[in-house]
Structure 1
Amino acid sequence: MAMQKGDLKQGENYIRAAIRAGIPDKESEAVAFLSMCQIFMNKGDRNSYRAAKDFFRKAKARKPTNPEVVKQIKEIEKYISRIPG
C-alpha cells in the first residue's frame, strides 16, 4: 500500500522485512522480488538498475505459475533488457 501511495522508501522497507522474515510460497516470493525490481527501476541510477536486474532474476528463478505474475514478468522483461547496468 505504501508503494501505491508513492512512498517507495517505506514500501522497500516493508518488502525487505517480509523477505527477511521468510515468505511461505514461491509465488508470493516472486511478487516480492518483482516489487523490489520495480522500486529500483524507478530510482533510475546505475546501481539501482543493477539491483533491479538482480531482483528480476530472483523473481524469474522462482518459476511462478500465476497468470498475473507471469504476465508481469513478461512485461518487465521487455523493458529490463534495454536498461544499462
Structure 2
Amino acid sequence: MAFGADQFIPLRPVGVLGVEAHLGFVEHAQRVRHTQRSAHMAKPARLELLQHANADLQRKALQFLLFYRVHRRTFLL
C-alpha cells in the first residue's frame, strides 16, 4: 500500500471488538517500511538553485530591453 493511502477505520468507540488505540504520529527520524516519498514532501535542496535560473535570465533580458527602450534617445546622440 502506498504511503499516505486511504485506509478504513472503525467507527465504533476505541477498544470495542479488540480495536486498540495506538500513537498516530511518526517521528521525524523513524522509517516507515522504506516507502516512497509522499507527494507533499519537498524536493532536495540542491535542485532549488536551478529552479529559478531560467526565470532570472528572462527577467534580466526584459529589464535590459525596457531600459534600452526608455533610454535609447541618449544612446543615439
TM > 0.5: no
**TM-score, structure 2 as length reference:** 0.25
- Name the structure, 1 or 2, with higher relative contact order (CA <8 Å, separation 6+): 2
Q: TM-score, normalised by structure 1?
A: 0.23
Rg larger in 1 or in 2?
2
